[in-house]
C-alpha cells in the first residue's frame, strides 16, 4: 500500500500534475468505454505521464465496481484515488486494504462527519481529497486535517448534468490555505481550461475529456506538457 502516495506525487511533479480518471460511464454522456479495454487506457495514461489514476466505484450512477478498483490498484504503480459517495468507515478500511492511495470525501454528503472521516482515512494511510462546490462547504473543508481539497467545478447534486466551468476553481482556490494541495476537478476539456485551473490549483483531475478522446494518450500528454 502506498502511504500518502498521491499528494507526494503531485508535490514532486515537474510537469502539470494531472490525475487521469478511468471513467467508464457518465450520467451525461453515457458509455465512455465504447468497447475498449480499460487496462489498455490505463497503460496509455501511464505512458502519457499521469501523476495518479482516479476511478469511480459508485455502481448506481457511474456503473463502477469495487472489484474493478481492486484490480486497478494491483495493475498500476501509480497512486489510485477512489471516488464514491462514501458514508461509512468500513468503505475507508476497504479502500486501504485494496491498495488504494487516496479516497474522495464529499463535504456535502458527510457534513459534520467529514472531520471524523478525514482523521480515520489518514490513520489508514490514505490521502484524503475533501470535495467542495460552494464557499460554505469550503469553510468546513479548510478546518479538516485533509491532505488535499478538491473543487468540483460541476454540481455533484446534479450528477454532472450541469455545465460546470473552471471559473469555480478561479473563485474558490485562492481561499484555500497553501498547506492543502488544491485539485481542480471536472469541467476541464481544453488546454485553456487546464491553464486557468492550474493557475489557481496544484493539480487537475480530468476524466470525461480523456475518455471521449479518440487518442487519450496523445491528449493527456498534451495536457501534461502544456506550458503555463
Torsion over CA: 122, 128, 133, 135 (sign) = positive
List 16, 101, 146, 152, catalytic entry: 152
Residues 54, 60, 64, 66, CA torsion sign:
positive
Q: List the catalytic residue out of 23, 44, 94, 182.
A: 23
Question: 185 an active-site residue?
Answer: yes
User: Which of 101, 185, 217, 221 does the annotation list as catalytic?
Assistant: 185
| Catalytic residue from among 91, 160, 186, 217 | 186
Count CB-CB contacts under 10 A for residue 91.
Answer: 18
d(CA 100, CA 119): 16
SS3 178: coil
Q: Indicate if 186 belongs to the active site.
A: yes
Half-sphere exposure of 86 (CA within 13 A, CB side): 29
Instruction: Spot the catalytic one: 83, 94, 182, 221.
Output: 83
Whether residue 131 lies in the annotated active site: yes
Active-site residue, from 26, 44, 91, 131: 131
Name the catalytic one among 7, 16, 21, 54.
Answer: 21
Active site residue 21: yes
Cell 481542480 maps to which residue? 184
Q: 178: burial class by Cβ within 10 Å (0-12, 13-18, 19+)? A: exposed
- Residues marked as catalytic: 21, 23, 83, 131, 152, 185-186
Amino acid at each position: 500500500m502506498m502511504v500518502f502516495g498521491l499528494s507526494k506525487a503531485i508535490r514532486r511533479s515537474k510537469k502539470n500534475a494531472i490525475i487521469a480518471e478511468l471513467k467508464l460511464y457518465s450520467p451525461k454522456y453515457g458509455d465512455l468505454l465504447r468497447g475498449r479495454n480499460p487496462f489498455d487506457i490505463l497503460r496509455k495514461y501511464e505512458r502519457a505521464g499521469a501523476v495518479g489514476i482516479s476511478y469511480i466505484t459508485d455502481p448506481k450512477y457511474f456503473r463502477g465496481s469495487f472489484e474493478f478498483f481492486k484490480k486497478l490498484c494491483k495493475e498500476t504503480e501509480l497512486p489510485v484515488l477512489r471516488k464514491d459517495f462514501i458514508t461509512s468507515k468500513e468503505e475507508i478500511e476497504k479502500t486501504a486494504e485494496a491498495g488504494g492511495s487516496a479516497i474522495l470525501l464529499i463535504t456535502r454528503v458527510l457534513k459534520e462527519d467529514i472531520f471524523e472521516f478525514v482523521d480515520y482515512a489518514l490513520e489508514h494511510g490514505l490521502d484524503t481529497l475533501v470535495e467542495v462546490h460552494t464557499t460554505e462547504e469550503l469553510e468546513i473543508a479548510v478546518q479538516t486535517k485533509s491532505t488535499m481539497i478538491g473543487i468540483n467545478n460541476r454540481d455533484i447534486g446534479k450528477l454532472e448534468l450541469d455545465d460546470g466551468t473552471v471559473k469555480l476553481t478561479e473563485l474558490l482556490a485562492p481561499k484555500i490555505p497553501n498547506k492543502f494541495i488544491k485539485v481542480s476537478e471536472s469541467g476541464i476539456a481544453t488546454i485553456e481550461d487546464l491553464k486557468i485551473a492550474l493557475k489557481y490549483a496544484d493539480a487537475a483531475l480530468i476524466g470525461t475529456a480523456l475518455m471521449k478522446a479518440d487518442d487519450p494518450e496523445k491528449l493527456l500528454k498534451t495536457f501534461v506538457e502544456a506550458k503555463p
